[in-house]
Amino acid sequence: MRGVFVFFACMVMSLSASGQVGDGPGSRRPADTVSMRQVELFGVDRWFYVKEIDAEVFARIYGRSYKHDCTVPLSDLRYLRALHYDADGRILVGEMVCNKAISDDVAAVLRALFEARYPIERMVLIDEYDADDERSMAADNSSSFNFRYISGTNKLSNHSYGMAVDINPLYNPYVRERNGVTIVEPACGEPYADRDRDFVYKIERGDICYREFVKRGFVWGGDWTSLKDYQHFEKRR
């Protein structure tokens, strides 16, 4: 009996050392780096999932993106996990909260972008930045749900309902003219308001990020005429 126990213990140690125990999707945190070997050991499907907002996720978003006066039912939201590459070729664990009405589509887009090795620099909950949109964008953090108003207005953003997704916002800023002044958000994204330049993480009309969202019924803010929101994909409510 002791021999069986020793054999089993050695097997566990061996598997743990090879990354098969305690190193799977459930043990990884958002923004963690994983190897392709880890991805393949557990299967790509296990790294991508959609679930209802549980107590742990709610504790992270309440009072931040899910404001105390938030009028969106919690049951309308979903939590997504996904993998993504960055521009250096690293594989990172990503997460996002969005509306259940678009959750399957967003998950499919993220899966397609991962398989195409499309780079997304960072994808954690905006609550990691206290739901401060400017801070999150400046960190080039891709996100969706945040109960807030459209910049410069008293109208709720589509992000308030989790019906919009921002991808690589630092390099794909919000740009508009107001009283003859060009406003760029995030402010540090001003160099990337020049869309004639070539740079990493740039979203362009017709690229794979654009195609994957648009073919699923999303509208791209880069196609708007009154202003440009190059990071922004949304479905109308």
SS3 113: helix
Rounded-to-integer distance, Cα 131 and Cα 158, Å: 15
Q: Which residues in 109-122 are b (16+ Cβ under 10 Å) and which e?
A: bbbbbbeeebbbbb
Sign of the dihedral through C-alpha 216, 218, 224, 229 = negative
Question: 233: which strand partners?
Answer: 165, 220
Q: In this predicted structure, what is the pLDDT of residue 4? A: 40
Picking from 34, 161, 42, the residue whose alpha carbon sits closest to that of residue 103 is 161
Q: In this predicted structure, what is the pLDDT of residue 22? A: 58
Q: In this predicted structure, what is the pLDDT of residue 106? A: 98
pTM (two decimals): 0.89
Residues 234, 164: contact at Cβ < 8 Å? yes
Q: Which residues in 53-81 are b (16+ Cβ under 10 Å) and which e?
A: beeebeebbeebbbbeebebeeeebbbbb
Q: What is the mean pLDDT of each run of 10 residues along the chain (237 residues)?
A: 42 41 81 96 96 98 96 97 98 98 98 98 98 97 93 85 98 94 97 97 98 98 97 92
Q: In this predicted structure, what is the pLDDT of residue 206? A: 97
Q: In this predicted structure, what is the pLDDT of residue 155? A: 86
Q: In this predicted structure, what is the pLDDT of residue 17? A: 42
Rounded-to-integer distance, Cα 33 and Cα 27, Å: 12
Rounded-to-integer distance, Cα 175 and Cα 185, Å: 7
